[in-house]
Structure 1
Amino acid sequence: MDPVLIINIAIAILVIIIALSGIKQIQQGQAAVIERLGKYHKTLEAGLSFIIPFFDRQKFVRNVNARPHELANNRIDLREQIMDIPEQEVISKDNIRMQVDTLVFFQIVEPYKAVYEISSPVKGIQQLSQTTIRNIFGEMDLDTSLSARESINDRLRSILDEATDKWGIKVLRVEIQDIIPPIELKEAMQKQMIAERERRAKVTLAEAEKQERILTAEGQRQKQILEAEGENQAVILKAEAERKKKILEAEGQSKSIQMVQEATAKGLDAVRVVLGKAEGIQGVVLIETLKAQQEIAKALASGENSKFFLPNDLAGLFGAIGGIKEVLDLSKDISAKQPKK
């Protein structure tokens, strides 16, 4: 084979290899910083990119990522990253020593600044977090520190985010995982908590008894009210019944009197007819007899007595009652015999 051809083939293969070495593939959520002749040139993002071999190179950035072993040495993680700040001792405002464990969530938003503005972003965030935590807890007493985690988290996030902004890093949130007071203080707090629970239990029990007494008294009051209302209603109903009874009795007496008066009126009419034909002492006897009957009828209608004692001289008047009947019958016969006009 011709040596020149072999050399040309070798050169062509070498050129292809060099050209292929300039093709870079970046995964989603990652980035790469390219330097040309030792100076920053550009930032490669997700997808295929091409660099000039021998002139361009990817910068090593192991200390930029929170977990560098998960990525290549020249890749920058653009996803949200978690940094576990080592547990540290802090002193509160009332001179209580505590152990604080913290998590920081951050994200690299400008790879150029994260690479060139600070030598080790991860170490910078860690040191800054520890210093800020000591300062914040030093301004608070123990009770405030234990009860104000949310405000501590917000304050930490705000301070760290402002400090790391020039590094191209955004602190998304900070979480205080645990605040551990000294053992003896922890035991005292445990006893205090137990005592507080017992106190609350007693208060709850007393409140329940109070409510029970209130409900019992209320039930008694309602019972008395209902009983009084029932008695009042019974009195009203009894009075109403008495009233109706009297009304009915009065109506009965009224009807009796009316019937007597009607009968008397009819009798008087008949007497007038008879008297028109009777003469002398017979007329007087009839009149006296009717007056006596009228008085007795009134007494009977009043219902006040069921027995009557009459003088002997009036007893003869009632003997004329049969005569009145005969007179009335005679009047009817005379009327019947008279010719109709």
Structure 2
Amino acid sequence: MGIEIIDYIKASGGKIIDTLGGSSSIQSDYNNNDSEDDSNERVGLAIALYIVVFSVLFLTLIFSKKIIKIVRHTEVMIIERFGRYHRTLNPGIHILAPFIDSPRVIHWRYVDLPIGAKKTQVMIQNTDRIDMREHVITFGRQHVITKDTVQINIDALMYIQVTDPMAAVYSVQNLPDSVELLAQTTLRNIIATLTLDDTFSSREFINSQLKDRTMKDAERWGVTIKRVEVMSIRPPKDIKQAMEMQIQRDREKRSAILHAEGEKESMIVKSKGLAAKVVLSSESDKTVSIQNAKGFAESRRLKSQADAEVIRLIRKGIDNSNVSTTGYLVSSNYLDKLSQIPTPETQLYLLPETSFNFATSISKSIKND
């Protein structure tokens, strides 16, 4: 509006000046006002240009964020065109068609049990990217019943990996939640076929059965189950106390058995030692007896030789007399024995007088022979 006023003044300026009888100073004021209007017009144009450039840059940034997609390593992105599946973006930079292509936003709900926590937490994740790395799904504590109707609490882990992103998004509504519920149901069915003792001693069997039974459904959802692990099995308190008492009794029983076996081994070793000692003693006594017998036999042999030599000499000495050799030897031995009777340790008994003629009678009988 200011420009229109100035143009009007310029058009009618001469008439106004002539009518009022103006001077040249008024004309110079008009010229100054005209230059100021030109500078203001340039400033307005510059501001408008800045606004347009900023708007273009802002819109370009917004559209570039919508159109240009950078997919990181180990991730993929599902792209839909007009609400239908179009393609899967692998790691790298990609340009989408504006207004018709858009990434599929995935809403995943899962239960998480942080390390050291006692309660599980429900986590909700909204993302347009699918992580292709291996994931760990932590089950909450499950109340299951064994074959012998004992209620126990069991915790488990499942390691899964997405292998088919399209199936993971379109084949199941909530992948983590579905895999968790499937594993929990399968675990209850497996535990129901085992007794309490079998449950504690068959962890490897439970892990393998749980993996095999859930593998088919998991593959249909575009997931591969890598491994399943049972973390802990907790029986009720009364059964736990009974089991601890049973374990204590078993330990005491094993200790008593080991002690008895130790004593048995000790007695066997001692018996073997005594037997060896007896054998060695018998061998020693046998050797001593043999040596004594040999010595006695040798002494008897030598004595016999000496007696024979004595008899030979006696016979030679009394050969020319009427004395019998046998009678001589008997009388000689009799007198020797008779001389040994009176000792301090023995008692002497006097026999009738006829007994002293015993040697004479023997000698005569031998001589007569």
Pairwise same-fold verdict (TM > 0.5): yes
1:95 corresponds in structure 2 to: 149
Match of 2:134 among 58, 71, 80: 80
Match of 1:166 among 217, 220, 224: 220
Secondary structure at the residue paired with 1:103? strand
- Cα distance in 2 for partners of 1:66, 1:152 equals 22
8 Å contact kept, 2:109–2:123:
no
8 Å contact kept, 1:114–1:168:
yes
1:249 corresponds in structure 2 to: none
| Deviation at residue 147 of structure 1 after TM alignment | 1.7
Q: Which amino acid aligns with 2:69?
A: K
8 Å contact kept, 1:164–1:170:
yes
1:113-262 counterparts in 2 under 5 A? 113-229=167-283
- Cα distance in 2 for partners of 1:66, 1:78 equals 19
- Cα distance in 1 for partners of 2:194, 2:258 equals 33
Identical aligned residues as a percent: 30
- Cα distance in 2 for partners of 1:120, 1:237 equals 103
Q: Mean alpha-carbon deviation: is it higher for 58-67 or for 85-94?
A: 58-67
- Cα distance in 1 for partners of 2:108, 2:156 equals 20
Does 1:44 find its partner at 2:94? no
- Cα distance in 2 for partners of 1:233, 1:50 equals 111
8 Å contact kept, 1:85–1:101:
yes
Relative contact order (C-alpha < 8 Å, sep 6+): which is higher? 1
- Cα distance in 2 for partners of 1:210, 1:43 equals 76
2:160 corresponds in structure 1 to: 106
Secondary structure at the residue paired with 1:86? coil
1:318 corresponds in structure 2 to: none
8 Å contact kept, 1:66–1:81:
no
CA distance 1:48–1:122, change in 2 (3 Å): same
User: What is the alpha-carbon root mean square deviation over aligned residues?
Assistant: 4.1
1:31 corresponds in structure 2 to: 76
8 Å contact kept, 1:106–1:172:
yes
1:10-63 Cα shifts (integer Å, max 9, x gaps): 768856764564332222222211112222122222333333232222111231
CA distance 1:223–1:18, change in 2 (3 Å): same
What is the TM-score when the length of structure 2 is the normalising length?
0.58
* Number of residue pairs matched by the alignment: 260
8 Å contact kept, 2:108–2:126:
no
Runs of 5+ consecutive residues of structure 1 not aligned to the other structure = 246-302, 312-341
